[in-house]
Amino acid sequence: MAESYYKNHYKMKKNRLIKIKQTKGKCELCGERANCIHHLDESTDNHELDNLMVICYHCHMLYHSGPYKNTKYIRLYGATTTELAKRHRTPVSTISHWHKIGVLESIIKSGNIRSKTSKFIRLYGRTAANIGKQFNCTGPLILKWHKENTLKKALETGIRPASSRKLEKK
């Protein structure tokens, strides 16, 4: 027997039938005939009746990719990835990357995506000052390594690039 996608599959099936009966098999968004169930909190573990919505296949697809979409980005940042990308004049993939490395919230708060600080956050996931602390050196040396294209490798390996010592902290 195949394993179910849902934890507590029995409760999901039971509550699905109750919800479909309550809505008379009509989509809660468009009113058409429906038999799909959508978890409002997007958790496939929560099968409580107040977390389930009867929805037709068409609206369910729209819900996950179109105008009804209620993504984690809306919950976390108050906007979809598309809206954030337009606001910060950057691709959606960059917004997703910033979220994954944990800097999107600070970028949104700063509001100035084109600042030098944000440039380092965008490229390296942290500010030049934080990188300087890691290597015990000053901002100008970090900028020099960045311009020489040696900073990325230094961050990957944890080894300082060969560079002039006059800008280092004493």
Q: What integer pLDDT is reported at residue 100 of this predicted model?
A: 78
CA distances (Å), 61 to each of 47, 103, 150, in order?
20, 30, 45
Instruction: Match 């098999």 to its residue by tokens.
Output: 25
Model confidence over 13-56: pLDDT tens digits?
999 999 999 999 998 888 899 988 988 877 778 889 988 999 98
The burial of 169, by beta-carbon neighbours within 10 Å (0-12 exposed, 13-18 middle, 19 or more buried), is given as exposed
Strand runs (DSSP E) across the chain, as ranges?
Answer: 36-39, 52-55
Model confidence over 43-97: pLDDT tens digits?
778 889 988 999 988 888 777 766 555 567 777 877 777 788 788 777 777 777 7
The domains of the chain are located at 9-65, 72-157
Residues 6+ apart with CB under 8 A from 76: 99, 105
